[in-house]
Amino acid sequence: MIYINTSSEEKGKKIKLAYQDFGEGQPIVFIHGWPLSQRMWEHQIPFFVYAGYRVITYDRRGFGQSDQPWEGYDYDSFASDLNDIIEQLSLKDAILVGFSMGGGEVARYIGNYGTSKLSKVVLLGSVVPFLLETDDNPSGVDGSVFEGMKEGIAKDRADFFKGFGRNFVNIEANQDRVSEAQVLLNWQIACSASRKGTLNCVDAFGKTDFRKDCEAFDIPTLILHGDDDAIVPKEVSAEKAVNFIKDARLQLVSGGPHGFYTTHHSEVNQAILEFL
């Protein structure tokens, strides 16, 4: 594993992010979801390297093998970390693929830093544009859902992620597509993350409004979502995002749960490749 030092510090020390960099060609940066790490991309890394792309993955602060600071679990910090990756690796004409809360990184990066280093964007099962139910977002998710998640994590994180992981892939409907061992691996990855970061990220992805960020998108954008997503239903995310992002294209994967990058990896990879 290799690391970059971000521009962020805690107690006078730079926060390190673990990343991987494979292949040659146009760069694709894959940004993982909560509560996982870059290890979630094992079906995507070889596929896109063999397709002729340079594939970069990294662990969000607090997750995987990156540092686990006490603070900084907000989208301005996450976008700054992504900008550090792009700047320090001298990426140009890059493609960003953000899964779930990783879609928020993509949106806030574009909102804060623009698209001069980018060529295309894929929002994969993303939380964009705004999940929380408010007066001006009446069809969003009730705030009690996020508070309940935090209560479950605080009480017994391991047990919470046991149930969450099964819903993540709709295990009962996808037994021919995903194994119990894969669910267990996801559980192990989730439990290895920072407890503080895991909790704080619930507020970040649940309560951050990306609608204004979406107005800054001016490059081709694919919104790819499973039509059987029980974690981030398409009705509160993808089907709204396509109306906020100019000229975005919405594509649904039939039977796809939230973790469709695993269960339906062939369909997901092919859809992204055709878009690129």
Residue 44's pLDDT band, with cuts at 50, 70 and 90, is very high
Interatomic CA distance for residues 29 and 46, integer angstroms: 14
**Alpha-carbon span 268 to 6, nearest angstrom:** 31
Which tens digit of pLDDT belongs to each residue from 79-128? 999 999 999 999 999 999 999 999 999 999 999 999 999 999 999 999 99
pLDDT in tens, 17-43: 999 999 999 999 999 999 999 999 999
The predicted structure's pLDDT at residue 11: 93
pLDDT in tens, 222-264: 999 999 999 999 999 999 999 999 999 999 999 999 999 999 9
On the 0-12 / 13-18 / 19+ scale of CB atoms within 10 A, 229 is: buried
Nearest CA to 132 out of 202, 33, 76, 79 is that of: 202
Class of residue 254 by CB neighbours under 10 A (exposed 0-12, middle 13-18, buried 19+): exposed
With tokens 């140009």, the residue in question is: 92
pLDDT computed for residue 67 by the predictor: 98
Q: Options 3.40.50.11740, 3.40.50.1820, 3.10.20.740, 3.40.50.720; which CATH number does 2-275 get?
A: 3.40.50.1820
What SS3 class is residue 200? helix
Please tell me whether the overall predicted TM-score, pTM, comes out greater than 0.85 for this model: yes
For CA atoms 125, 128, 130, 132, the dihedral sign is positive
Annotated domain spans of the chain: 2-275
Q: What pLDDT score was predicted for residue 174?
A: 96
> Phi and psi for 98 in degrees, rounded to 5?
-115, 120
Catalytic residues: 100, 229, 258
Q: What is the pLDDT of residue 93?
A: 98
Count other Cβ atoms within 10 Å, centred on residue 162: 15
Contact 194, 60 (CB under 8 A): no
Concatenated DSSP letters of 202-252: HHHHHH---HHHHTT--S-EEEEEETT-SSS-GGGTHHHHHHHSTT-EEEE
| Percent of the residues in the chain that have a pLDDT greater than 70, as a whole number | 100
- The torsion region of residue 249 among left (phi > 0), alpha (psi -120 to 50) and beta comes to beta
Report d(CA 223, CA 200) in Å as an integer: 26
At residue 1, the pLDDT reads: 84
Instruction: Please state, in angstroms and rounded to a whole number, the distance separating the CA atoms of residues 1 and 94.
Output: 22
